[in-house]
Structure 1
């Protein structure tokens, strides 16, 4: 006969219940905290510029969260709408011509604008794929986000043997907010099926959250 399985002690059950509750509550709490922090940050920047007669706090006498964020979203959307028609485009072009005449400001403006256009462009494939490269030595692999094909001077300098080079971004764990821009041969890059969101979860969790993958699915 199979010996009876000993029941866990009260302390063990208490610990397990606490850990289960922590797994349930922690993501919800962190998400709410981040959302609330972002709303307050947006309000602190925008609310001081709202005329008093349009600010609900002057009538309700208590803090209304999200008013500044809502005003910022509406304002940015209106500016985008105006920038797509002829009159708005002319105003934007006039403002850019003034900025381009400022020695230091024009360099910052061009760089920031190029970054935002590359990231927000709908047709862009930047950071839509995840891959693996050998680093720091053969046999050891790291996760990277694929940026784009290398072009320009870097491509001319590195493609001497005719092999295409790819720009990849290698972030650290567990906070992928910084990292290294690397140029690797396409043949040395293993493209994965996982999405960038799944890759980010894998990095943030330190390898604990592995994305699901069907064995029958061939890698790209």
Structure 2
């Protein structure tokens, strides 16, 4: 009986959590409907609530914003808006810090989280997965002798928190593993192991970081 109970739980728990997360996302995005005037509320002229309409509205708003921001007029307005934010001390610090991170993460030209690495942390002999985020810059680079890389070490099972480290390039090993597979490996605390792939050939081929 215990075997059947565990089997049933293994089937229902992932499904239940997936449905809960989807419901949370849809419910949160449905709140965007509150931005519409009362007379335009879908529930008002349909007579009943339709879950998911906020998702469509959010998608439309994001898409329209992207289209607007790519033309000349939109770019000028954005520059003007950012110029105003630049004059507000506290807002300036928060806005530009978040903007730099988002630009790095979502820009197609960025190098953040493009490679999964294997490093020794928090002590020699203990290994963990990290992600390449770039190279040290600014005055920091002037104080580091040799070739260094910047890495992000996520925590388990919540990879949104972690540690930022600057390590010698020769001390990191580039894994033949996608970022998605590495994230699943971290979130599952090592239970969901990625598919094994043949290692790169050549001396220290795995340690080369472009």
Q: Which whole-Å deviations, capped at 9, do the CAs of 1:132-171 have from their partners, x for residues lacking one?
A: 111222211111111112222111111x2xx211111111
Query: Counterpart in 2 of 1:52?
Result: 38
SS at match of 1:142: strand
TM-score normalized by the length of structure 2: 0.89
Instruction: Give the alignment partner of residue 152 of structure 2, picking from 137, 149, 169.
Output: 169
Query: Counterpart in 1 of 2:64?
Result: 78
Q: CA deviation at 1:54?
A: 2.4
Q: Is the 8 A contact 2:117 2:129 kept in 1?
A: yes
Q: CA deviation at 1:181?
A: 0.5
Query: Counterpart in 1 of 2:28?
Result: 41
After superposition, the CA RMSD in angstroms is: 1.7
Separation in structure 1 between the aligned mates of residue 75 and residue 122 of structure 2, nearest angstrom: 48
Q: CA deviation at 1:217?
A: 5.5
Separation in structure 2 between the aligned mates of residue 92 and residue 71 of structure 1, nearest angstrom: 22
- Gaps of at least 5 residues in structure 2 are none
TM-score normalized by the length of structure 1: 0.85
Separation in structure 1 between the aligned mates of residue 99 and residue 197 of structure 2, nearest angstrom: 40
Instruction: Give the alignment partner of residue 55 of structure 2, picking from 60, 65, 69.
Output: 69
Q: Does residue 200 of structure 1 match 2:183?
A: yes
Q: Is the 8 A contact 2:153 2:164 kept in 1?
A: yes
How is 1:7-46 mapped onto 2 (pairs within 5 angstroms)?
Answer: 14-44=1-31, 46=32
Q: CA deviation at 1:215?
A: 4.0
Query: Counterpart in 2 of 1:145?
Result: 131
Instruction: Give the alignment partner of residue 195 of structure 2, picking from 186, 193, 212.
Output: 212
Q: 1:216 to 1:94 in 2, by over 3 A?
A: closer
Q: Which whole-Å deviations, capped at 9, do the CAs of 1:26-61 have from their partners, x for residues lacking one?
A: 2222111101101101222x1211122322111233
Deviates more, 1:181-190 or 1:88-97: 88-97
How many residues get paired?
Answer: 203
SS at match of 1:92: helix
SS at match of 1:193: coil
Q: Is the 8 A contact 2:33 2:54 kept in 1?
A: yes
Q: Is the 8 A contact 2:176 2:199 kept in 1?
A: no
Q: Does residue 135 of structure 1 match 2:121?
A: yes
Query: Counterpart in 2 of 1:111?
Result: 97
Separation in structure 2 between the aligned mates of residue 198 and residue 30 of structure 1, nearest angstrom: 20
Instruction: Give the alignment partner of residue 140 of structure 2, picking from 133, 144, 154.
Output: 154
